[in-house]
Amino acid sequence: MNLDRLIDALPKAELHLHIEGTLEPAMMLELAKRNNVDLPYASVAEVQAAYEFNNLQDFLDIYYQGMSVLIEVRDFYDLTCAYLAKVHGDGVRHVEIFFDPQAHMERGISFETALEGITTALQAAHKEMNISSKLIMCFLRHLPEEAAFEALECACKHKEHIFGVGLDSSEAGRPPELFSRVFAEARAQGFVPVAHAGEEGPAAYVETALDDLQVQRVDHGNRAFEDPALIARMVRDQTPLTMCPLSNLRLRGIERLDQHPVKKALKVGLLATVNSDDPSYFGGYVNDNYKQVAKAVGLDAGEVVQLAKNSFAASFISNADKQKGVDAIDECVNRLQN
């Protein structure tokens, strides 16, 4: 079976996606004009030329600058609609989307402005394209705990729209346990916890995300492979992992895509998934991630189907909806074989 055709056709969920990371250069320039924001770029080519990263921090500097064009509710709405329309064509049926409210609040944009634009687009996508969604608010780990508590207080006023809390931004030197208290309060308030861990930081950060933050899913987790006991624990507990191959390549967590651990993850029985992270910045949406990593590490059709099934199993939808996702995949595979 042709792998690219299979990947295009498979129903799937995307579970690791920063909505601000879907801002395409053309939209960035358009919104800068609409909102009178000064950017150091005059053309799409100039924006793209800036996307040369040596590490996570290089990327984050550009990412926070890029999102400065998001000012009004409709900017967040347009951004989210564009992402959903794109992945609808990629077979995506369910999305679990991150947003970074502190990055907006810091520059004077209210929590509600960002939230309203994003949720209105998510509701429209459900109605018009039958894409279901959950929204996860990330705490920025480069900011102090108090700032995270402020964001949590805002989130508590909008529990009907916010499903979970995450932890993102600069990882080195900012271990998960610095946020134990705010995660404890978030869990007590009913938010489901996840965290970026082991993207650049060591395996110990994955362990403390599990132990101290009690996360139900690990974002990236690549460096967990440095600790075999930790991997054994995650296999035993079927802790979901949201891997992002093109992100890891572009941020130089790996030198070449054939070094990506996704095949190894499947082989040892981890509940691994493939996602795009910040597709506009890393050169590919979710299907590009599947295709390029499949080719680089030599995934067979069975492994690609397993990844798509894992995307539903690792999501936060009901067991009945997970089964519907898996059934839709089986139907798709049968159709392609006949």
> Which residues does the annotation mark as catalytic?
199
Burial class (CB in 10 A: 0-12, 13-18, 19+), 334: exposed
User: Is residue 175 a contact point for ligand ADE (CB under 6 A)?
Assistant: no
Report the site for ligand ADE in 181-200 (rule: CB under 6 A). 196, 199
Looking at 202-210, 256-264, 269-277, 285-293, which segment touches Zn ion (CB under 5 A)? Answer: 269-277
> Sheet harboring 218-220: ordered strands across?
195-197, 218-220, 240-243, 271-274
The nearest distance, CB 332 to Zn ion, in angstroms, is: 27
Q: Does 207 bind Zn ion (CB under 5 A)?
A: no
- Residue 168 binds to ligand ADE (criterion: CB under 6 A): yes
Residue with Cβ nearer Zn ion (275 or 287) = 275
User: What token pair was written down for 247?
Assistant: 């992100």
Amino acid at residue number 47 = V
116 binds Zn ion (CB under 5 A): no
**Of residues 247 and 305, the one with the C-beta less far from Zn ion:** 247
Question: For residue 261, what is the DSSP state?
Answer: T
Between CA 244 and CA 14 the distance in angstroms is 11
With tokens 């209210």, the residue in question is 110
CA of 243: how far to CAs of 23, 51, 180, 257, 262, in Å? Answer: 20, 21, 24, 13, 7
Q: Is 277 in the site for Zn ion (CB under 5 A)?
A: yes
Q: Which whole-number Å values give the CA distances from 289 to 71, 100, 138, 247, 276, in the listed order?
A: 30, 23, 23, 9, 6
Task: Measure the N-to-C terminal CA separation of the chain; round to a whole number of Å.
Answer: 11
In this structure, the number of other CB atoms found within 10 A of the CB of residue 36 comes to: 8
The residue (of 212 and 277) whose beta carbon lies closer to Zn ion is 277
Of the candidates 67, 53, 65, the residue with the CA atom closest to the CA atom of residue 18: 67
To the nearest whole angstrom, how small is the minimum distance from the Cβ of residue 282 to ligand ADE? 8
Residue 63 or 316 with smaller CB distance to ligand ADE: 63
**Judged by CB, which is closer to ligand ADE: 66, or 325?**
66
236-275 residues in contact with ligand ADE (CB under 6 A) are 247
Q: Which of 11, 21, 221, 284 binds ligand ADE (CB under 6 A)?
A: 21
Where do contacts with ligand ADE occur on this chain (CB under 6 A)?
A: 18, 21, 56, 63, 168-169, 196, 199, 247, 277-278
Where do contacts with Zn ion occur on this chain (CB under 5 A)?
A: 277
